[in-house]
Chains A and B, each alone.
Chain A
Amino acid sequence: MTGRTAEPATEAADDDGGELLAGTRGTSRRGLRRLLLVGTAAVLVLGGCGFLHAAHRLNSAPSAENRALTDTEATARVAGEVGNALARVFSYTPDGTAAAERSARTVLDGRAARQYDVLFDRVRGDVAEQRVTLSTRAVRTGVVELDGDRARLLVFLDQTSRRGTDAATTAPAQLTVTARLRDDRWRIVDITAR
């Protein structure tokens, strides 16, 4: 097609592959045609590479890779699971922290699990002795980052505690939480108080 425009007008009619293959005319036109074909191919390949590069840049932009809110289902799921997990592991009654610690084994992992063990080794005695009840509720959960099997969230918690027969007091807590999806379940791997 590009070859056609470059040919003299009078020869445009028989300008097709058959005539080229026959090779009875001069080599100059054949060469020109071939050069144009190769040139066109080179331009197309270069253009294609440009498209590939541009598409890759768009797809791998940090904002596009973060699925927070763009994938509503996954966002709601990780927010729900992490909120519930925090509520369960930070709620206990004077009769024992066993239920909370059992939950912790299924929903905490890595550094968060180690932090939790250290914390509960310290409070376990006090809880029974001072008849402490703690109940934790996730009041707001925001997903900062969601990338496949990794998520970072900001969680606002309300923690209501009661010591013996004292009146209950509620305190706010703000946490940033890192979670990982493992065996189709979000597990909290790091907790930082804010």
Chain B
Amino acid sequence: MKRAVRVLAGARPRPLPALALVLTLVAGGFAAWTGQDWYRAAHDDRAAYAAQRDAALAAGEQAVQNLNTLDHRDLDRGLDLWESSTAGELHDQLASGRDEFAEQVKAAKTVTTARVLSGAVTELDDRAGRARVLVALRVTVRASDGAKTDKDSRMLGELTRTGGRWKLSALGQAPVGGTPAG
């Protein structure tokens, strides 16, 4: 190493240490400036809030779709998914009414599938872990005789964050002809 340095230094006519010093200082300034820039971006509250908004919307759309999907041939998996997509009061309601509902669907022999057409978050309380979403949905019900009916519905969902995951805590149709809100 020492020899390599000596050879390198000797090959040059005269060192320019002042220039090297200035270059180093400029480089230091550059690193400090960009580092600060990065730190700000990484600790931007707005970015964290935006990420929560997107997480809430994705979870909300998926949960609404899950709760509008059920196959009478695979009830247990469908209803398990209902329970894992929900929290709070909605979860308790679904869990307590599960057996009764399963009987009804088994008797009706229906297959229900849903597709989310569009969704939006209307409210987000990042700290409390609460959000409200609008979801436009197309629900397709296939009856036991093979007849298929499509129904468009518009849902209002309330989400609660539990253990870092957003889950539906309330879900209902947006009322028609009611009082406007939001």
A20 touches B5 (CB 8 A): no
In the assembled complex, the CB of A150 is this many whole angstroms from the nearest CB of chain B, namely 15
Complex CA gap A49/B10 in Å reads 32
Count A/B pairs, Cβ under 8 Å. Answer: 183
Partner of B28, one of A44, A64, A158, A170: A44
- Establish whether residues B38 and A37, one from each chain, have CB atoms under 8 Å apart when the complex forms: no
A172 x B176 contact (CB < 8 A): yes
Query: When chains A and B are docked, how far (Å) is the Cα of A21 from the Cα of B20?
Result: 12
Contact (Cβ within 8 A) B23 A37: yes
- Selected from A34, A156, A160, the residue in CB contact (under 8 A) with B20 is A34
Q: Is the interface of B mostly helix, strand, loop or mixed?
A: helix
Contact B34 A52 (CB under 8 A): yes
The CA of A176 and the CA of B118, in the complex, are separated in Å by 7
> With A and B bound together, what is the CA distance between A79 and B10 in angstroms?
71
Which A residues from 16 to 38 make CB contacts under 8 A with B? 17, 20-21, 23, 27-28, 30-35, 37-38
Task: List the A side residues contacting B50 at CB < 8 Å.
Answer: 63-64, 66, 69-70
Q: Across the interface, which residues of A come within 8 angstroms of B175, CB to CB? A: 139
With an 8 A cutoff between CB atoms, is A125 at the interface?
no
Which of A33, A45, A48, A174 is within 8 Å of B17, CB to CB?
A33
Q: Are B31 and A51 in contact (CB under 8 A)?
A: yes
Quick check: is A112 within 8 A (CB to CB) of the other chain? no
The answer to whether B2 and A28 touch across the interface, beta carbons within 8 angstroms, is yes
Chain B interface residue count, CB cutoff 8 Å, equals 59
Q: B21 touching A54 by the CB < 8 A rule?
A: no
Tell me the residues in window 144-175 of chain B with beta carbons closer than 8 Å to chain A beta carbons: 152, 154, 156, 174-175
Contact B5 A35, beta carbon cutoff 8 Å: yes
> Does A69 contact B124, Cβ atoms closer than 8 Å?
yes
CB distance from B137 to the nearest CB of A (A): 9
How far, in angstroms, from A138 to B38 measured CA to CA in the complex? Answer: 42
* Contact code string B38-70 (vs A, CB < 8 Å = 1, else 0): 101110101101110110000000000000000
By a beta-carbon cutoff of 8 Å, the part of chain A in contact with chain B is: 17, 20-21, 23, 27-28, 30-35, 37-38, 40-42, 44-45, 47-49, 51-52, 54-55, 58-59, 61, 63-64, 66, 68-70, 137-144, 153-154, 156, 158, 160, 170-172, 174, 176, 194
28 contacting pairs across A/B (C-beta < 8 A): A23-B15, A27-B9, A28-B9, A31-B12, A34-B9, A35-B9, A44-B24, A48-B33, A48-B34, A51-B34, A52-B38, A54-B38, A58-B47, A59-B47, A63-B51, A63-B54, A68-B121, A138-B180, A140-B182, A142-B120, A142-B122, A144-B120, A154-B120, A156-B134, A170-B177, A174-B118, A174-B152, A194-B117
